[in-house]
């Protein structure tokens, strides 16, 4: 029987920041008080000259390793909001670096924390329509290059990283759910990015560095007030109900967010995964990285019915119930 998610590999940069050590250099941050809320002890930051494309390539190379020419994907989707340049698309550059044939269908998706389930749904649509035989879906972001050193809210949560997922057409169709509240879009945004850096500006004016800004309180309120009902809606839509889900794998936003969702939804602790301590919040890659780590630890098994749910930038959300 074909599994929808055939395999996942991921890459985290080798440059690791121990948040406990930040108490020495940034005592005004009181990091020890923040750690129980964030759940993040170790952050992964890309090297000064490490690009988004390189992060993506390292994850994708791992998942393609050992595949024969007949087993290679015929479609490549890249989800990122930190491309190295506005154009060309990251997937085109990655296709070349991976040595995939020119017949490979390649395109990018610009989404953050909700990006994984959106990408899964696109991949499923291509597979179900017979457009694709196998899809390589890469999620990647290089957020550390957009976060100011004194931006405590974002610095203590976000890690750089990439995940690569091989997707095949499953025998049982997944159930998907999506939503967006663009009225709250300014709750998470990156200033001085895209062509806004020159729009309406003097041609000789200096270009400011990208500057990621997040209103943590507004994002938290959105998550705990909007997302629980959407999660229940997805469980009902899938025909499983909440009790029929073996494992819940949500976007790893923070300890506080995940614990709040667990309480509001009455999810048994053994069915909820919280895995931020060693990894951090890698935006669109949190769900696949968590899946891979849960499988490696034995917590996730083939045949399990699982719910994936992402939420954040947009503000948007997306979920899927699948047989793993």
Q: What is the pLDDT of residues 222-236, one digit of tens each?
A: 999 999 999 999 999
- Predicted local confidence at residue 196, as pLDDT: 86
- Asked if residue 158 and residue 72 are part of one domain, the reply reads yes
- Asked if residue 154 and residue 106 are part of one domain, the reply reads yes
- Predicted local confidence at residue 283, as pLDDT: 96
Count: domains in the chain: 2
Residue 137 CB-density burial (10 A; 0-12 exposed, 13-18 middle, 19+ buried)? buried
Match 């595949």 to its residue by tokens: 67
- Predicted local confidence at residue 124, as pLDDT: 98
| Average of per-residue pLDDT values in the chain | 96
- Predicted local confidence at residue 202, as pLDDT: 85
Query: CB-based contacts of 46: which residues, under 8 Å, 6+ apart?
Result: 13, 15, 55, 142, 144, 145, 160
- Asked if residue 187 and residue 152 are part of one domain, the reply reads no
- Predicted local confidence at residue 206, as pLDDT: 87
- Asked if residue 243 and residue 162 are part of one domain, the reply reads no
- pLDDT bracket for residue 205 (50, 70, 90): confident
- Asked if residue 159 and residue 128 are part of one domain, the reply reads yes
The four Cα atoms 165, 169, 173, 178 give a dihedral, to 10 degrees, of 40
- Asked if residue 157 and residue 14 are part of one domain, the reply reads yes
Q: What is the CATH number of the domain that holds 125?
A: 3.40.47.10
Give which of 214, 156, 162 is closest to 18, Cα–Cα: 156
Distance of CA 34 to the CA centre of its chain: 22
- Predicted local confidence at residue 236, as pLDDT: 98
pLDDT (average), residues 38-52? 97
- Asked if residue 267 and residue 193 are part of one domain, the reply reads yes
Give which of 115, 321, 322, 125 is closest to 236, Cα–Cα: 321
Among 57-61, 113-117, 216-220, whose mean pLDDT is lowest?
216-220
- Predicted local confidence at residue 207, as pLDDT: 87
pLDDT (average), residues 85-91? 95
Phi, psi of 155 (to 5 degrees): -60, -40
- Whether residue 199 has pLDDT greater than 90: no
pLDDT (average), residues 159-179? 97
- Asked if residue 157 and residue 194 are part of one domain, the reply reads no
- Predicted local confidence at residue 204, as pLDDT: 84
- In tens, the pLDDT along 251-288 reads 999 999 999 999 999 999 999 999 999 999 999 999 99
pLDDT (average), residues 59-87? 96
- Whether residue 115 has pLDDT greater than 90: yes
The four Cα atoms 151, 157, 161, 164 give a dihedral, to 10 degrees, of -140
- Asked if residue 180 and residue 165 are part of one domain, the reply reads no
- Predicted local confidence at residue 23, as pLDDT: 87
- Asked if residue 308 and residue 222 are part of one domain, the reply reads yes
- Predicted local confidence at residue 201, as pLDDT: 85
- Whether residue 1 has pLDDT greater than 80: no
- Asked if residue 162 and residue 97 are part of one domain, the reply reads yes
- Asked if residue 91 and residue 16 are part of one domain, the reply reads yes
List the domain range (segments joined by +) for residue 15.
5-171
- Predicted local confidence at residue 312, as pLDDT: 95
pLDDT (average), residues 151-160? 94
pLDDT (average), residues 131-154? 95
Helix (H, G, I), strand (E, B) or coil at 174: coil
């Amino acid at each position: 029987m074909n599994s929808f998610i055939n395999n996942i590999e991921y890459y985290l940069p080798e440059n690791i920041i121990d948040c406990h050590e930040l108490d020495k250099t940034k005592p005004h941050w009181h990091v020890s008080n923040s750690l129980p809320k964030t759940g993040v002890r170790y952050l992964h930051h890309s090297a000064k000259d490490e690009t988004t494309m390189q992060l993506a390539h390292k994850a994708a190379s791992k998942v393609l390793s050992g595949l024969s020419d007949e087993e290679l994907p015929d479609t490549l989707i890249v989800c990122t909001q930190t491309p190295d340049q506005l154009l060309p698309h990251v997937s085109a550059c990655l296709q070349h670096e991976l040595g995939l044939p020119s017949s490979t269908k390649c395109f990018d998706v610009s989404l953050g924390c909700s990006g994984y389930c959106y990408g899964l749904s696109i991949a499923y649509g291509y597979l179900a329509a017979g457009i694709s035989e196998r899809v390589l879906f890469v999620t990647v972001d290089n957020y550390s290059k957009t976060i100011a050193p004194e931006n405590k809210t974002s610095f203590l949560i976000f890690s750089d990283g990439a995940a690569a997922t091989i997707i095949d057409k499953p025998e049982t169709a997944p159930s998907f759910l999506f939503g967006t509240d663009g009225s709250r879009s300014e709750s998470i945004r990156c200033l001085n990015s895209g062509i806004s850096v020159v729009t309406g500006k003097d041609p000789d004016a200096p270009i400011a560095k990208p500057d990621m800004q997040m209103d943590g309180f507004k994002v938290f309120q959105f998550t705990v007030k909007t997302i629980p009902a959407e999660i229940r809606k997805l469980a009902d839509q899938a025909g499983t109900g909440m009790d029929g889900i073996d494992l819940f794998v949500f976007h790893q936003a923070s300890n506080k967010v995940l614990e709040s969702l667990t309480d509001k939804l009455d999810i048994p602790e053994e069915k909820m995964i919280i895995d931020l301590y060693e990894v951090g919040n890698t935006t669109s890659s949190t769900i696949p990285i968590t899946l891979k780590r849960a499988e490696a630890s034995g917590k996730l098994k083939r045949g399990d019915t699982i719910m994936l749910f992402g939420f954040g930038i947009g503000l948007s959300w997306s979920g899927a119930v699948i047989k793993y």
